[in-house]
A = this chain, B = another copy of it.
Amino acid sequence: MLFTGTHIHKLDRKGRVSVPKRFRAALDNEEFAGIYLYQSHKESALEGCSHSHMERIAASLDELDMFSDEADDLADTILGSSHMLPYDGEGRIILPAELIEFARIEDQVAFVGRGRTFRLWNPDIFKPLQEASRTRTLNRGATLKLKPMSELPKGARPGTSDEEDAS
């Protein structure tokens, strides 16, 4: 249920790319067999998430005032620009030309896990950024304060399950 690691796959000349097995596994028993992608606000990258995560975004937008400018902007930016991409029989998606262009992707795609979501990059662009990010983190001596186990959602702890049948 977590997206982790960096996986580099090939974009074939039909515009298809395999979604890493690990990511698909994190997404099974979703009602929609596929992923959502939209343009990142900050980076030359694509944001990826599951159907249920997208439902979560929509539900959270409902909470904002229906007519607020902020809700409008977020709806246009995220919901309006997202692409719902189903798998083919082999677990691939078709990357829309618009997104390929935006992320300046050429013949390879890097799937980078970010926990509940993930990003897609041109590997040549991502690599130097990752290095820089690592350096900053080290220099800062960053420490991440971990939540106590007991506050984690059920299913994220050993010995529990959030499935009816986790076979």
**Interface residues in chain A, defined as those with a beta carbon under 8 Å from any beta carbon in chain B:** 2-6, 22, 29-31, 36, 39, 41-42, 50-52, 54-63, 67, 70, 72-84, 112-116, 129-130, 133-134, 136-138, 140, 142, 144-147, 149, 151-153, 155-159, 161-164, 166
Chain copies in the assembled complex: 2
Residues of B contacting A166 with CB < 8 Å?
A: 31
Give the dominant DSSP class at A's interface. mixed
Using A147-B56, A149-B153, A156-B55 as known contacts, say yes or no to A73 and B137 having CB atoms under 8 A apart: yes
CA distance A39 to B137 in the complex (A): 13
Would B133 and A73 count as touching, CB distance under 8 A? yes
Would A80 and B130 count as touching, CB distance under 8 A? yes
CA distance A5 to B82 in the complex (A): 5
